[in-house]
Structure 1
């Protein structure tokens, strides 16, 4: 992949986001691309509060943020099961890392499901804190070499400078974290990528049969390496596709429901409304 993906899957009202914020994606350094989907950078100067809603991907993000000249924050965002809503004000910047589904396990080195639905300060994960030049959090998991004492070393800013400088800082951070190669993570990433790309993947048992693996093993693999089960991944990718298509023009919802594997149009409408808080037709009208 020579360019980051250009779709808006999961972003509600992407045109408004691009009007209000400077949003762009960049690829990481080549050695990191097997595990990292892309870096995402946002900058804003707002005269009024701006609220953005996102239907999360089955992916972990590491997010460095800075607002109104304050100190830089750093956190790990596990896979979000519910709609993510954020309100931005004033002036600020974000430098984010979106890992491939399954790509964060070689960094975390334990079950990614531990982070699902959670946002954890980077300092609470010792390996990440050391890579970032942060002191270990007092409640962090024990083990490994102690991090530098608070104030002994000023960690480099990830939200400052040009796009190239910010991407280089993220590259350096991930490289210092030293991910461990993991064949099971590679398997999980390949399976998740297939689910995303292939609309014919609709049922976990059929997908397991296609790859000659027991359903329970597939479920354990996804929980350990992706953070959610394969059924959730299938449904989330299909729903994000429906959201993306709604942004390009009101589709034939009945035909789309059948194409995406929903039992009927009502099933698609219920899931769309439950996750986004608005019906498909109302969402499409709001955009057009």
Structure 2
């Protein structure tokens, strides 16, 4: 069961999408199952409401992994990460807009980028536990999502009352351009009116990635959207998305997705950014 919806108006400058998911019936176990989670250029906040805590793996040969708890912030990334999906879980979450971290979480994006952070390190254990308890107590999945949303609204209202604001205007004006095309970073700096160093610092503090890294992920995002059409050739996808040629796209796929474009398409994944991972031989031996 999967629910997705836009947030309430109060949250829209800070939250792009709210979602909730739960297994249908008793969750089936798939020992050793993992997936590659591909980058979006943004952050997310997740409450796991059933099953084990989030476990991530450093690479395909990592048999132990590392757990991150039940309330987790996923920072902006410029490449995939690998997570355990051996047990389906009940969860609610939010995809955050650029610049939302300070208002919602109390930390800038660049302090959280490239990793997962337990929410209690940001909100404190008492507030995090209370928030999880409130969401758990709501019962039905849709109601749990509504309670989760209300918690985020409370955080935003408190931050706005304290004088915190959203995305810096100089950064906000560049994001649409970076999403659509491959602009010159020097040109964006010049348009901003800031020095190169100041612009990069503002961008990284608001997004968590440098402008060059963010542009790279946005170009990859365009390629994934085009690749949703299975009849479209990889050459056409590469050139339309802004790559120099198909070989360039293949190199970027390997770096950002951890697999080739053809391997990505062969997985037949329901979500283009949640892709089943191959099981390494060392991982198989560790389970015997």
Q: TM class, shorter-chain normalised?
A: 0.7 to 0.9
- Per-residue CA deviations over 1:139-185 (Å, capped at 9, x if unaligned) read xxxxxxxxxxxxxx983125853344123212221123223342654
After TM superposition, the structure 1 stretch with the greater mean CA deviation from structure 2, 33-42 or 173-182, is 173-182
Aligned-residue Cα RMSD (Å) equals 3.0
Q: Secondary structure at the match of 2:226?
A: helix
Residues 253-272 of structure 1: pairs in structure 2 closer than 5 A: 253-272=234-253
In the alignment, is the contact (CA less than 8 A) between 1:55 and 1:240 conserved in 2? no
Does residue 59 of the first structure (1) align with residue 34 of the second (2)? no
State TM-score, norm by structure 2: 0.73
Q: Secondary structure at the match of 1:92?
A: coil
Residue 66 of structure 2 corresponds to none
In the alignment, is the contact (CA less than 8 A) between 1:222 and 1:229 conserved in 2? yes
- Per-residue CA deviations over 1:30-79 (Å, capped at 9, x if unaligned) read 11111110112121244242533221222221110022499x82122211
In the alignment, is the contact (CA less than 8 A) between 1:27 and 1:38 conserved in 2? yes
Residues 27-42 of structure 1: pairs in structure 2 closer than 5 A: 27-42=6-21
In the alignment, is the contact (CA less than 8 A) between 2:20 and 2:142 conserved in 1? no
Does residue 156 of the first structure (1) align with residue 139 of the second (2)? no
Does residue 169 of the first structure (1) align with residue 147 of the second (2)? yes
Does residue 83 of the first structure (1) align with residue 80 of the second (2)? yes
Residue 124 of structure 1 corresponds to 121
Moved over 6 A (4+): none
For structure 2, the 5+ residue unaligned runs are 54-68, 270-288
Name the CA distance, whole Å, in 2 between partners of 1:159 and 1:190: 41
Match of 1:222 among 189, 192, 203: 203
* Higher RCO (CA 8 Å, separation ≥ 6 residues): 2
State TM-score, norm by structure 1: 0.73
The verdict on how the C-alpha distance between 1:226 and 1:285 changes in structure 2, with shifts beyond 3 A counting, is same
Q: Secondary structure at the match of 1:263?
A: coil
